Structures are given as structure tokens and as C-alpha cells.
Structure 1
């Protein structure tokens, strides 16, 4: 598959993922009955400040869950879409459509004085200090002035995992090209912000015995399967509770609670020399996962 060339002079920075392995079957079944199957081609695009603001903002709101209200998401979205040589949006049919997924990296030191990034630095430091597995390294590193790359990624929940390896591989190539051009993307560490969840007692099931069993079997699960692979390469990783957890939200939030799913934040700190192997592990895992 050809790589997305975000730095070409003619501005064409798109890559088609029309390979059957990257096509999503809208109606997938293992039985022998006749069915209608719709193949959807996903494509990667460079950010366009005239098109991608609202799509990126919507996905950021999903990424930060109930804590999204704590940030200037508009300012953060502007910063992301204006940085159009790094990262990708993933869309269907046409560049003018809203993004189904996005991936980017921001230099925390370079943008530290900008209010949206200053808010994130304060928030992530506070959340890391509350986590035993993150407190020993993340807050000090974020505040140290080192070149830390903040990786933000999110996608709609029904997106096929096969679209993810090309997005990360393209970003690796773009970072390398940016470093060659003396741009501020030579990081010492990458701080990946994501989401996870725990399975808890469903609010639809009030049986005491089943609630007890659910508590006993509760464990960390990942909205994004790549996170489980990348954390194996991390210097530190851990979850944190959302500050605004428990506040009323849209129907989708209540649906999670009713089905016994409790979302939480998840962070991984990866050293620069471990980042490319971590990305490679995503492709290897998703390529073999059923």
C-alpha cells in the first residue's frame, strides 16, 4: 500500500486503503444465507483547516469523555488542523466529509504557552499524579521542558481496526521527514492519551449475586486494541478517573452505564527509541487478530 505523502509540493496527501484487508464489511456473518455486503473504502487525508475543524472537535469530545468540558476544544482543534504536515484524518468517499478517525502529535514544549495546550499539560499532570503507575515519571517529564510529543487519536466506535496501522505508519514517516526539515518533532518521549473501560455491574441487573460476580471479574478493557499492544513498549502506563465522572451526559453515556461499562482515561509514556517498535507491533497484532 502506498504511503500518504503529506509534504508533497502539489498538496496531494491522500492514500487509498482500498485493499480488501482494509475494507469494512457493513454486514458480516458466518452463515451461508444470502446477504448484501457493502464494501467501504477508507482513505487517509492531510488535515484541511477549511474542512476538518468540526470532525476533529467531535472526536476530541469523545476522547476526553465527560472531561471534554474542561478544555478549549475549539482552540485545540484549530491547532491540530493547522498542523497539516503531521497526522491524518480517515474518511469515506470524499475529502470534504467529516473524519471517522484522526491521529496527530503535538509538541508540548513548543506549544506550552498556548491556552489549549497549557490546559492539557495541567490536566494530564494532575491525572498522572493521581495514578500510582504514572506518578513517578509523567508529571515531572511533562513539566521538565523536554521535547515530549503528545499523541491524540480517536475514531468512531464501529471503525474497523485495519485502518489504524496505516495511520500510525504514515505519521512515523511524516515525523522523520519533519525532523530532516529541522521542524520541532524530534521528541525524547511520546505521551499517548487514550481511553479504556472497566466492566462493572450493570445498572440493568440489580441482582446482588450478579453484581458481586461482576465486581470480582472486573478488569481493564480497551476501546482501541492497539493500546494493549503499545503499552508493552511503554516506560509507564496507567488509567485515571475522569474528573467530571458521574455527571449527567447524553444518552450514549447512560447506555454505557446501563450495560456495565465504566470508561476511564488511559495514558502511555513511550521513549522515542521504542515508539517505532510500538507502532510496528500494532500492524503485527491487527494483521493476525481475527
Structure 2
């Protein structure tokens, strides 16, 4: 069923993507090769569903990059597609096609401590009803959420205040819950599709809280994909002779965001921390690594209070540069 929100009251997003000449012009008076190509695409919003499992898993693999091997992505994908209340995908070929983009939020505390009931072992005939009841409510932590929690604990150690805050929020008996935001899309998806997804997420979280569901987050946590420029490992113009040059030292450059809208989030974050990925790219993957082309992927951890999220979503919506 279509995810289009009643409050949006809009038709599916129409985005025009044009190809231009090298000089930036798009004069259509020339040959057929100079004609402007316009592709009209209808972006439709849907709830994640079970059929999206493999596509969601692929997007998560892209999101966590080389560190994806550290997490049980199958379990994480299952948590996402089995959560009917909060989460949005974007598709372009109908509800049964694969999603090109996903934005969702998972309750870290809930998945760490309050779900995954374990079947109680058989009790002896002499067991009291209270003992039997206690056994029935025993829970097992989500393995993948435990992996993510331990990962962020490790990565936040460089920032003592952030590390202490996360320890406090994600350890029992904390009563303040953290929402883990997972946002990923194909690299050629236009950024204009992102603000509606964030607005939908806020609406869904509010609706879930009104229904008494466990989405009353005090904080939101995001591991935003970033990168900085480094010396490329390959020559992009291998056929062109190059003069011999002395090696120069490459200094750390500015940090850039793969998702431009997430750059706005850092203005509202209570804590931020940059960190490198743990797992190096394998030799088999080396030809497709960003570093080959002068880009070093990293992550920026951001912890944002719930009161700030509506402000930043409004800022995304009003951004005139998109």
C-alpha cells in the first residue's frame, strides 16, 4: 500500500535530471547528441515490507561500508522490514520494486533489553507461579543491536563526554531511550527526496508515541557517512604522460558529507565525533574503493536531543539550495 501521507497532499515527486554540454550550456539547436535529455521520475513513498528484505540489506551494506562485516545485517534488515509503524522507502517502479532509498529509526534500548522473549524452560512440578512467570518474561538482547552498541562505545572513546553520555543512555537502568537513525540511498538519488522522508519519520514517531508504542526517544543517534580528500591511489588519466614530480605530504582536509542534509544535523547535535572505519577494504574490493580516486570514507557520530530534530527538519525543508 502506498506510503503517501495525507498531510503531504502532493503528487509523487517529479525530478528532472538533465545532461549538459561540457561548457555548461544546453542549447538544443545542434545535433541530436547536443539535445538535452530530460528524465521524469516519480518517486513514491512506501512502508518497508518483508519483500524489501534483500534490497534493505544491500543498502545497509552500503551504509556501513567495509565495517558491514562486523554486524548481523540480516537481523538488522529483519528488524527494519518487520517494524510497521516507523520507516520509509522510496521506489520508482511501484510497491513491488526494490527501494532506492530508506530512512528509519530503531529503538536501541528496546532491542537491547526489552524484546526477543526466550521460551521458558520446563519447570518442575514444585515451581511457584511467580517463578514460572519470571521465566516467561525472560528476554534475550538483539545480537545486532548489541554489536552496534559495542561499536559506538568503542568509537566514542575518543570523546570522553560523549562516551559517558552513551554509556548512561544505553545501560540499564536508563529510562531515556535512544533512536538509531538509519539513512541510506543510491548515490544518484536527488537530495530533494530526503526532507519529505524526515518529515514522515517525525509524524510516524509522534503517531507511535500517541499509540503507546516504544518510540518516545530522548535522543537520536546517527552515524553519518563522511569523507575527506586524500592523494588518489590510481592515475585517472593513465594514457596521458605525466612529468616526474616530487612526493608531497598530504595533510588532512575538510570533512564532507555523502548526504548533504545531514550536514545540517551537526549544527543541532549535542555531541559529535569523527571516526575511521575499523575494517580495511579487501584486495578483491580494491578497484571500487573511494580511496583509489582520492576519497577516504569515514563517519561522524552525532547525538541529537529530540527537541532539536523538528528544527533541523524544517531547515532541510526550507533549504533554497535544493
Say whether the fold is shared (TM-score over 0.5). Answer: yes
Q: TM-score, normalized by length of structure 2?
A: 0.78
Aligned counterpart, 1:9:
none
Structure 1 segment 140-151 matched on structure 2, within 5 A: 140-143=168-171, 145=174, 146-151=176-181
Structure 1 segment 204-215 matched on structure 2, within 5 A: 204=234, 211-212=248-249, 215=250
Q: TM-score, normalized by length of structure 1?
A: 0.86
Q: 1:237 to 1:133 in 2, by over 3 A?
A: farther
Aligned counterpart, 1:267:
301
| Deviations 1:183-221, CA, capped at 9 Å, x for gaps | 000111000122100101111359765743xx2461101
Determine the C-alpha separation between the residues in 2 that align with 1:26 and 1:124.
40
Q: Secondary structure at the match of 1:4?
A: coil
Aligned counterpart, 2:58:
58
Q: 1:48 to 1:67 in 2, by over 3 A?
A: same
Cα displacement (A) at 1:260: 0.4
Q: Does residue 239 in structure 1 map to residue 274 in structure 2? A: yes
Q: 2:187 aligns with which of 130, 145, 157?
A: 157
Given that 2:13 and 2:43 are in contact with CA atoms closer than 8 Å, whether structure 1 keeps it comes out as no
Determine the C-alpha separation between the residues in 1 that align with 2:246 and 2:9.
52
How many aligned positions are there? Answer: 274
Q: 1:27 aligns with which of 19, 22, 28?
A: 19
Q: Secondary structure at the match of 1:118?
A: helix
Determine the C-alpha separation between the residues in 1 that align with 2:49 and 2:3.
18
Pairwise CA RMSD: 2.6
Structure 1 segment 128-207 matched on structure 2, within 5 A: 128-131=156-159, 134-135=162-163, 137-143=165-171, 145=174, 146-204=176-234
Structure 1 runs of 4+ with >6 Å offset: none
Determine the C-alpha separation between the residues in 2 that align with 1:233 and 1:125.
21
Aligned counterpart, 1:218:
253
Determine the C-alpha separation between the residues in 1 that align with 2:153 and 2:246.
39
Q: 1:270 to 1:17 in 2, by over 3 A?
A: farther
In structure 2, stretches of 5+ residues that fail to align are 29-34, 113-140, 236-241
Aligned counterpart, 1:120:
148
Aligned counterpart, 2:321:
289
Q: Secondary structure at the match of 1:137?
A: helix
Instruction: Report which of the two structures shows the higher radius of gyration computed on alpha carbons.
Output: 2
Q: 1:171 to 1:252 in 2, by over 3 A?
A: farther
Q: Secondary structure at the match of 1:277?
A: helix
Q: 1:15 to 1:155 in 2, by over 3 A?
A: farther
Cα displacement (A) at 1:266: 1.9
Q: 1:257 to 1:177 in 2, by over 3 A?
A: same
In structure 1, stretches of 5+ residues that fail to align are 7-13
